[in-house]
Amino acid sequence: MKKTIYFLTTCAIIFVSCTSNKDSTAAADSVNRVKDITPNTMATGTLGVKVSDAEFATRAASNGMAAVEFSKIAAENASNVQLKYFARMIVRDYEKTNKELASIAAKKNITLPLTLDEQDQKKSIELNEKSKADFDKAYIETITGKNKKALKLVQDESKDGKDAEVRAFATKTVSIAQSHLDMINVIHDSLK
């Protein structure tokens, strides 16, 4: 009976996360919490890290997906050549980082979000609808916010992470996030 309850709970959480894009990160966190408290590995598998490390992974994955999505739009729509180059670099770097994180998550049985959160989906639509004249400023503002969030996230995990592999990933990613933030600040300053 316990197996059935755990299985049904997990299925319900996965169903909700797949059908509702409102907050795919929260849905992934919910699945990870169920894995953490489930004593029956047959039902959900056990989480291979502390919940705090899993929450870091879901937030980093969500932020990374959004950065890639926004930057793909910028690679097509930006007027400024430096901004186009920067956007292509973000896509390349974050796709590599996202794959590395997904690999770690698979080993640690961490469920990651599969879609953009509702807020990021709205921002993607907004960016797509911007005129050429307004696009560069909107992208700079958006990607600066994402980079600041990413930097704080990886800095915190590199200090406070419990799992050695997840913490090492975060520590390695700090320099990447910092360099992205530095570059977008230079581009922003050059456009003033």
Please report the domains of the chain, with CATH numbers, ordered by start residue: 24-190 (1.20.1260.10)
Question: What is the band of 1 on the pLDDT scale with cuts at 50, 70, 90?
Answer: very low
Q: What is the mean pLDDT of residues 159-187?
A: 95
Query: What is the pLDDT at residue 45?
Result: 55
- 180, 85 in Cβ contact below 8 A? no
Per-residue pLDDT tens for 79-99? Answer: 999 999 999 999 999 999 999
Tell me the whole-structure pTM to 2 decimals: 0.78
For 16-54, the DSSP string reads: HHHH--TTHHHHHHHHHHHHHH---TTTT---SS-HHHH
Q: What is the mean pLDDT of residues 40-68?
A: 80
